[in-house]
Amino acid sequence: MSAGYVAADTDNLGTRLIGQPVYSSAGDDAEEIGKISDLVFDENGQITAVIIGVGGFLGIGEKAVAVDFQSLEFTVAADNTERWVVPTTADALTAAPDFVWEEDEPADAATDPMAPADPMAPVEPAAPATN
């Protein structure tokens, strides 16, 4: 930790990734299919998906779609510019399901919702089931 971190040429920053355009290929005829709007991390801190905003105009009517991070490629295009590429089309992304973020319970709160907070506290009996 005291040595710090020296960035390598192949490293990227999340702040530089968010807002970047995504193209359908590295070719001269590639279409811009959207822009990266967010990243999804798992519990180990690994990026699992990128959220790409597709459609709309100036952010109005834009749809958020999750794309597996492994399908996102960083490449040098035919015109010698660096590009993020997902080999698909804007139409395919627009037809994909919307990305929906659902809040979840903290892990310790979800372990056993029936367990009392204080093991010595009396537990009320459950109400009888009704049909």
Whether 115 shows a pLDDT value over 60: the answer reads no
- Written as six digits, the tokens of 54 are 């597709």
* Domains observed in the chain: 14-95 (2.30.30.240)
| pLDDT band for position 53 (cuts 50, 70, 90) | very high
In this predicted structure, what is the pLDDT of residue 119? 55
Query: How far is it, in rounded angstroms, from Cα 111 to Cα 19?
Result: 37
* For residues 63-76, average pLDDT: 92
In this predicted structure, what is the pLDDT of residue 10? 74
In this predicted structure, what is the pLDDT of residue 98? 92
* For residues 3-15, average pLDDT: 80
CB of 42 within 8 A of CB of 49?
no
The mean pLDDT value of the chain amounts to: 82
Query: Rounded to an integer, what is the distance from CA 51 to the centroid of its chain?
Result: 5
Whether 35 shows a pLDDT value over 90: the answer reads yes
Whether 100 shows a pLDDT value over 90: the answer reads no
Query: Rounded to an integer, what is the distance from CA 88 to the centroid of its chain?
Result: 17
